[in-house]
């Protein structure tokens, strides 16, 4: 694409200071189809300087001005939906139906949800004789992943714009092209120069200098827990605000009063959406021991019915995983499951039959898994589900909470109140009841090593605000 070898800094597409490049690989073909510029610390300095210079004026814009800006972003984004979806399919392998139906619309949805929150939010309140004011936190650094790229970019960019912050984005170097289109959208929408800046590059050369930069006030990071620890360490010396959405190993608690065929089939298919590359995927399926045989049979049949292949082909539900590195990691974890004694029900190592090229993984089901096994504890990030048995409801809750993660959870029961009661006992930031989807207006985020802070809607917007008390600052009236 035209701007692949450039960065967006201070309202312009500029040549990078660094001469390094990174190849963009189509995971379905394993072929390089584009090349992006790769930045360094000098590029970071230039982008941060632009954001710093833009902050004094943009932070003072009115709520109405920011509402109008978000409305324009929505208008322009809609015109580029097809381009965005095509980029996501090419660079990270999302099937076309998913890219057009969920990946590209996710970004648009976050701008719309933020606009709603902005319209309904008051940034000042009076407490006695004190005026309490919410103000933009400042210059923000965003590092976003490749698995739901538009979702993660726009749930950071939109609230930053809504609150009057300025920002520098480093998207994933694995799937960077969709972010360049976002920059084009923001430019056309009239985002003022310096408010939004974009630099491509790897974590060491761009991520580290960006998250440790003394002129950055806040870091919002989405990615692995390992990388999140590094980001927090980089930010700590300058006491930046840090919000993180990290890994997950979410439990899916299936209670003993459900229709096993319906629930297990639904959740097995759902786990494989986006090729299992979702941090909140219900990858640990907890099933009553008495229902185990039926659950295994349903999971097996469902996994074997899921169409895997060329993400541009009609009817494909599962495309490739994003890269060779991810493919090899998943293959190693599948083999680890076999080696540690879990029962391989279907799938396994190697590509699906008939696919000899591309980073395709077989939809895989493991049974007779214990919660001490590697595949029950580590995030696999592929279309692999582990089925664990339990004896009592109390044991199910104990197993579900026995993890270092706490991003999401799932509970299914014919008794809605029972499901909610179990959900209240799970140590996770979110719980889905009986297959309920996420709510773009509600907070998204986790407990424990799944991160801190919240994204989406009003709660996400408030992460970008500082609170100031002006004592004796109320307006005097006669």
What is the pLDDT confidence band of residue 476, given thresholds at 50, 70 and 90? Answer: low
pLDDT tens digits, 74-103: 999 999 999 999 999 999 999 999 999 999
pLDDT tens digits, 110-119: 999 999 999 9
Cα-to-chain-centroid distance, residue 232: 18
Query: Do the domains 7-246+450-471 and 251-433 sit in the same CATH topology, yes or no?
Result: no
Catalytic residue status for 165: no
* Residues composing the chain: 478
* Backbone torsion region of residue 276, taken as left when φ is above 0, otherwise alpha when ψ lies between -120 and 50, otherwise beta: left
Q: What is the CA radius of gyration of the chain?
A: 23
Closest CA to 382 of 399, 401, 359: 359
Backbone angles phi, psi at 429, to 5 degrees: -75, -20
- What is the Cα–Cα distance from 228 to 407, expressed in whole angstroms? 14
pLDDT averaged over every residue in the chain: 97
Spatial neighbors of 137 by CB under 8 A, at least 6 apart, are 163, 165, 217, 218, 241, 464, 465, 466
H/E stretch holding 269 reads helix 260-272
pLDDT tens digits, 276-286: 999 999 999 99
pLDDT tens digits, 198-210: 999 999 999 999 9
* Domain range 251-433, CATH architecture: 3-Layer(aba) Sandwich (3.40)
pLDDT tens digits, 220-268: 999 999 999 999 999 999 999 999 999 999 999 999 999 999 999 999 9
* Backbone torsion region of residue 239, taken as left when φ is above 0, otherwise alpha when ψ lies between -120 and 50, otherwise beta: left
H/E stretch holding 388 reads strand 384-390
Q: What is the pLDDT of residue 478?
A: 44
Instruction: Give the CATH fold of the 7-246+450-471 domain.
Output: Aldehyde Dehydrogenase; Chain A, domain 1 (3.40.605)
Largest Cα span, the chain: 83
Measure the CA dihedral 377/379/385/386, to 10°. 0
pLDDT tens digits, 37-74: 999 999 999 999 999 999 999 999 999 999 999 999 99
Is it the case that residue 1 has pLDDT exceeding 90? no
- What is the Cα–Cα distance from 100 to 88, expressed in whole angstroms? 9
Exactly one of 279, 379, 455, 463 is catalytic; name it. Answer: 279
- What is the Cα–Cα distance from 212 to 236, expressed in whole angstroms? 8
Exactly one of 91, 245, 455, 463 is catalytic; name it. Answer: 245
Tokens of 242: 């840090």
Closest CA to 103 of 115, 86, 119, 120: 86
Catalytic residue status for 398: no
Spatial neighbors of 82 by CB under 8 A, at least 6 apart, are 100, 104
pLDDT tens digits, 412-462: 999 999 999 999 999 999 999 999 999 999 999 999 999 999 999 999 999
State mean pLDDT over 152-157.
98
CB 450 within 8 A of CB 406: yes
Q: What is the pLDDT of residue 473?
A: 85
What percent of the chain has pLDDT above 70?
A: 99
Is it the case that residue 353 has pLDDT exceeding 90? yes
In the chain, domain spans: 7-246+450-471, 251-433
Q: What is the pLDDT of residue 209?
A: 98
Give the other-Cβ count within 10 Å of 229's Cβ.
13
Is it the case that residue 477 has pLDDT exceeding 70? no
pLDDT tens digits, 157-179: 999 999 999 999 999 999 999 99
- Per DSSP, the three-state class of 296 is helix
What percent of the chain has pLDDT above 90?
A: 98
Spatial neighbors of 26 by CB under 8 A, at least 6 apart, are 32, 33, 90, 91, 93
CB 84 within 8 A of CB 105: no
Which DSSP symbol is given to 352?
P
What is the pLDDT confidence band of residue 148, given thresholds at 50, 70 and 90? Answer: very high
Cα-to-chain-centroid distance, residue 328: 22
Supply the pTM of this predicted model: 0.97
């Amino acid at each position: 694409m035209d701007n692949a070898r450039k960065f967006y800094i201070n309202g312009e597409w500029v040549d990078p200071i660094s001469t390094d490049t990174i190849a963009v690989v189509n995971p379905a073909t394993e072929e390089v189809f584009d090349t992006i510029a790769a930045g360094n610390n000098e590029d970071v300095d230039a982008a941060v300087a632009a954001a710093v210079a833009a902050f004094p004026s943009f932070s003072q814009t009115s709520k109405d001005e920011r509402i109008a800006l978000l409305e324009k972003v929505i208008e322009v984004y809609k015109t580029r939906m097809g381009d965005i979806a095509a980029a996501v399919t090419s660079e990270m392998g999302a099937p076309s139906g998913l890219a057009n139906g969920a990946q590209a619309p996710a970004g648009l949805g976050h701008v719309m949800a933020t606009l709603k929150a902005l319209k309904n939010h008051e940034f000042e309140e009076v407490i006695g004789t004190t005026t309490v004011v919410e103000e933009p936190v400042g210059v923000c650094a965003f590092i976003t992943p490749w698995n739901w790229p538009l979702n993660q970019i726009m749930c950071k960019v939109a609230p930053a714009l809504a609150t009057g912050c300025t920002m520098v984005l480093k998207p994933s170097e694995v799937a960077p092209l969709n972010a360049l289109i976002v920059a084009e959208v923001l430019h056309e929408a009239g985002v003022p120069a310096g408010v939004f800046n974009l630099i491509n590059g790897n974590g060491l050369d761009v991520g580290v200098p960006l998250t440790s930069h003394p002129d950055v006030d806040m870091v919002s990071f989405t990615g692995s827990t390992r990388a999140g620890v590094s980001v927090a360490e980089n930010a700590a010396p300058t006491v930046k605000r840090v919000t993180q959405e990290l890994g997950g190993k979410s439990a899916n608690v299936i209670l003993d009063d459900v229709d096993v065929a319906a629930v297990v089939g639904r959740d097995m298919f759902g786990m494989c959406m986006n090729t299992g590359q979702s941090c909140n995927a219900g990858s640990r399926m907890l099933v009553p021991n008495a229902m185990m045989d039926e659950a295994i049979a349903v999971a097996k049949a469902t996994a074997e019915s899921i169409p895997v292949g060329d993400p541009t082909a009609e009817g494909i539900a599962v495309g490739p995983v994003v890269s060779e590195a991810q493919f090899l990691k998943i293959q190693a974890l599948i083999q680890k499951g076999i080696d540690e004694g879990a029962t391989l029900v279907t799938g396994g190592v190697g590509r699906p039959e008939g696919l000899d090229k591309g980073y395709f993984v077989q939809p895989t089901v493991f049974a007779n898994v214990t919660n001490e096994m590697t595949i029950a504890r580590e995030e696999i990030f592929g279309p692999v589900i582990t089925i664990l048995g339990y004896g009592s409801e109390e044991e199910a809750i104990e197993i579900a909470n026995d993890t270092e993660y706490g991003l999401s959870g799932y509970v299914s029961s014919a008794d809605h109140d029972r499901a909610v009661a179990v959900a209240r006992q799970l140590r996770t930031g979110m719980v889905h009841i009986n297959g309920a989807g996420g709510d773009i207006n509600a907070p998204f985020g986790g407990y424990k090593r799944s991160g801190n802070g919240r994204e989406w809607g009003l709660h996400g917007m408030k992460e970008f605000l500082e609170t100031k008390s002006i004592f004796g600052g109320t307006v005097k009236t006669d």
